[in-house]
């Protein structure tokens, strides 16, 4: 496979921070690469080097002649006073295409992007649709390589699935920076992590994310074992050196030199391994044993006459994690606000256990004062120490637990990155024991290693958790049930994202006659018998009955007594799957009978 570009011995430094040192990477034709790394590891800088926006301090970037590289930054940059159509036309105004071809490209792109009103001003678009437009604009340019920096930010589940479909069928190469592991798993054939804990500065495998995750774990564990082995060997050499060994003989001189080399190798290995440090999250529970912490009965809410959700009923107790997902505007944050007692439902009620202690992660981070220093934000009580779990911990030690360095403590919060602000909120939540965690999009801006720590902390928290997130990977790992909100359908509970995806495919389906396909026309002549006619006359009734059974079972798995009973839930889910298969089989049989009737 031919090379598209190469980075040769590239180094890049910002101030005292060295992002890359002698980095060498080859990128091949049609490669679809997922790029990950800790916050601040240089992922965005890596993309800018390839896009020729940033120049390396040393080394070189060698690219194929005439290569069209399109870079899509994290922050969307659009003219607010231009229409959707004007923005797309502007993106290709300097292209070699003639007017007719440009018109075709723009109209096709509008369709692919899902834009029904091409005259809408970009300033009137929601954050999710702005992101869609920037992606669609990049596609208009027909890149050879598309560089995407956190493209799923601001996209709801519909937008993420739309982008996945675009990239799955892409005829161009791409490199995508993302912390959405399900997204990476679904669209990337190769995965690479940039990190100072790797000898070459990165770790890359051919394969999807789940394979990468296993291989990375093996590599880092082997590197830790190697450090232990070298440390043991170094102790023996130091003992020998302490005995007063002198380089009088060639053999002794050689051993002393070997010991020095071993020491240098060990220092380098320790330096790499220390860079694998992650956040240390451990949410405190009150120890309360109340079985039912929160009950919701028939919750409904409209906004400006538009229904967000209706008739939501559930209860939650210690050790249970409920996920909430849905497209933007479906009412996820509004539902959390009701559970938090900040908003009243139009119908229904919420019953909280007496003196229920709730800790909240607000996706807008409104609890953070941007004018405070990091030290003040990490320690709301003031002073040089925080009180955690009955122990006094110095603020420097506490800050390091969340990956902050001592020289950052005097920095104002407004100068911190999104991921750093998220870590402050998680640190504050840890300081107060609670019964219930309400987490509204806590995964935004966190790198993958931090997400893995957050997953573990949620799973180990003895209290209850309600979490809103588009992170399918995390939700499938931590949630016992997921509530799916859709403005065009009833709210429903599911076991995992796979069930949600299956349900989404059935939304809006009604028994209908299937038109004869071209493939059916080519099939051999089949006699349409009286038995076939009788079956066709009655098959719609069977389909309606099957659809009714699907609805009945779907309603049943939302009942609180079923949600609380794992065995009953498993049985109901199994029956639901059988009913869905039966309905699909009936639809296929209907198509067969219609084809036979037409030919007969």
pLDDT digits (tens, 9 = 90+) for 436-477: 999 999 988 888 888 999 999 999 999 999 999 989 999 999
Q: What is the pLDDT of residue 518?
A: 38
Homologous superfamily of domain range 3-214: P-loop containing nucleotide triphosphate hydrolases (3.40.50.300)
Which one, of 36, 58, 38, lies nearest residue 47 by Cα?
Answer: 36
Which one, of 37, 256, 231, lies nearest residue 150 by Cα?
Answer: 37
pLDDT digits (tens, 9 = 90+) for 340-380: 989 999 999 999 999 999 999 988 888 888 899 999 999 98
Q: Check residues 569 and 91 and name the one with the higher pLDDT.
A: 91
Confidence band, pLDDT 50/70/90 cuts, at residue 146: very high
Contact 368, 377 (CB under 8 A): yes
Contact 175, 145 (CB under 8 A): yes
Mean pLDDT of 250-274: 76
Mean pLDDT, all residues of the chain: 85
Note the Cα 350 to chain centre separation in Å.
30
Contact 318, 290 (CB under 8 A): yes
Task: Please say whether the structural domain 509-599 has been given the CATH code 1.10.3470.
Answer: no
Q: What is the pLDDT of residue 464?
A: 95
Q: Check residues 80 and 267 and name the one with the higher pLDDT.
A: 80
DSSP codes, 288-345:
---S-SEEEEEEEEEETTEEEEEEEEEEE-TT-EEEEEESTTSSHHHHHHHHTTSS--
Kind plus residue range of the DSSP H or E element containing 213: helix 209-242
User: Would the pLDDT of 285 be above 70?
Assistant: yes
**Domain 294-498 belongs to what topology?**
Rossmann fold (3.40.50)
Lowest mean pLDDT among 83-87, 270-274, 401-405: 270-274
Contact 298, 328 (CB under 8 A): no
DSSP codes, 91-118:
HTTTSS--HHHHHHHHHHHHHHHT-S-T
Cα separation, 236 vs 5, in Å, equals 47
pLDDT digits (tens, 9 = 90+) for 105-118: 888 888 888 888 88
Which pTM does this prediction carry?
0.74
Among the ranges 1-15, 238-252, 476-490, which has the highest mean pLDDT value?
476-490
Q: What is the pLDDT of residue 594?
A: 67
Lowest mean pLDDT among 182-191, 379-388, 430-439: 379-388
Note the Cα 340 to chain centre separation in Å.
25
Cα separation, 99 vs 93, in Å, equals 9
Which one, of 121, 135, 455, 489, lies nearest residue 308 by Cα?
Answer: 489
pLDDT digits (tens, 9 = 90+) for 487-509: 788 899 999 998 998 888 877 54
pLDDT digits (tens, 9 = 90+) for 117-127: 888 898 888 88
Domain ranges of the chain: 3-214, 215-274, 294-498, 509-599
| Cα three-residue angle 590-596-599, rounded to 5 degrees | 140
Cα separation, 338 vs 309, in Å, equals 12
Pairing outcome for strands 58-63 and 3-14:
antiparallel
pLDDT digits (tens, 9 = 90+) for 401-422: 998 889 899 999 998 888 889 9
Domains 3-214 and 294-498 share a fold: yes
User: Would the pLDDT of 563 be above 90?
Assistant: no
Question: Residue 191: phi, psi to the nearest 5?
Answer: -135, 140
Kind plus residue range of the DSSP H or E element containing 420: helix 418-431
Alpha helices, H only, 124-208:
127-140, 157-168, 181-187
Q: In what order do the strands lie in the sheet with 17-28?
A: 17-28, 3-14, 58-63
């Amino acid at each position: 496979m031919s090379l598209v570009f190469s980075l040769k011995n590239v180094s890049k430094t910002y101030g005292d921070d060295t992002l890359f040192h002698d980095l060498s990477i080859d990128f091949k034709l049609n490669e679809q690469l997922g790029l990950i790394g800790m916050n601040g590891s240089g992922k965005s800088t890596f993309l800018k080097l390839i896009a020729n926006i940033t120049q390396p301090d040393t080394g070189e970037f060698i690219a194929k002649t005439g290569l069209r590289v399109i870079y899509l930054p994290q922050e969307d940059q659009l003219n607010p006073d231009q229409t959707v159509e004007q923005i797309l036309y502007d993106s290709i105004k300097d292209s070699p295409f003639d007017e007719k071809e440009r018109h075709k490209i723009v109209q096709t792109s509008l369709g692919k992007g899902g834009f029904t009103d091409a005259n809408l001003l970009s300033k009137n678009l929601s954050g999710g649709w702005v992101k869609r437009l920037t992606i669609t604009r990049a596609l208009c340019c027909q890149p050879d390589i598309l560089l995407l920096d956190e493209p799923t930010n601001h996209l709801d589940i519909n937008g993420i699935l739309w982008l996945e479909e675009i990239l799955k069928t892409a005829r161009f190469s791409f490199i995508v920076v993302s912390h959405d592991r399900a997204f990476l798993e679904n669209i990337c054939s190769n995965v690479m992590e940039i990190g100072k804990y790797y000898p070459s500065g990165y770790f890359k495998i051919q394969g999807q994310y789940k394979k990468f995750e296993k291989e990375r774990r093996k590599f880092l564990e082997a590197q830790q074992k190697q450090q232990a082995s070298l440390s043991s060997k170094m102790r023996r050499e130091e003992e020998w050196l302490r005995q007063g060994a002198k380089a009088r003989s060639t053999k002794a001189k050689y051993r002393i030199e070997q010991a020095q080399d071993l020491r240098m190798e060990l220092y380098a290995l320790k330096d790499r391994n220390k860079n694998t440090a992650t956040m240390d999250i451990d949410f405190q529970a009150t120890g309360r044993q109340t079985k039912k912490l929160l009950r919701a009965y028939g919750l409904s809410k409209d906004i400006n006459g538009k229904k967000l959700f209706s008739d939501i009923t559930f209860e939650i107790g210690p050790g249970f994690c409920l996920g909430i997902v849905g497209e933007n505007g479906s009412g996820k944050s509004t539902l959390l606000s009701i559970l938090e007692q900040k908003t009243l439902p139009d119908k229904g009620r919420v019953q909280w256990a007496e003196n229920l202690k709730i800790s909240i992660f607000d996706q807008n981070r409104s609890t953070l004062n941007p004018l405070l220093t990091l030290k003040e934000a990490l320690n709301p009580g003031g002073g040089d120490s925080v009180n955690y779990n009955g122990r006094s911990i110095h603020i420097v030690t506490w800050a390091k637990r969340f990956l902050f360095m001592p020289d950052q403590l005097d920095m104002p919060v407004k100068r911190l990155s999104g991921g750093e602000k998220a870590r402050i909120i998680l640190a504050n939540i840890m300081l107060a024991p609670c019964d219930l965690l309400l987490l509204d999009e806590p995964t935004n801006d966190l790198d993958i290693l931090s997400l893995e720590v957050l997953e573990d902390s949620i799973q180990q928290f003895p209290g209850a958790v309600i979490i809103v997130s588009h992170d399918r990977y995390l939700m499938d790992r931590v949630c016992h049930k997921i509530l799916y909100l859709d403005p065009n359908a009833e709210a429903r509970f599911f076991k995992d994202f796979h069930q949600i995806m299956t349900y989404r495919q059935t939304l809006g389906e009604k028994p209908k006659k299937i038109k004869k396909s071209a493939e059916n026309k080519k099939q051999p002549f089949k006699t349409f018998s009286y038995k076939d006619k009788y079956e066709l006359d009655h098959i719609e009734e069977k389909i309606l009955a099957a659809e009714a059974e699907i609805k009945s079972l779907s309603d049943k798995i939302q009942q609180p007594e079923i949600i609380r009973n794992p065995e009953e839930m498993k049985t109901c889910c199994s029956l639901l799957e059988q009913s869905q298969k039966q309905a699909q089989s009936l639809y296929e049989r209907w198509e067969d009978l219609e084809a036979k009737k037409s030919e007969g």
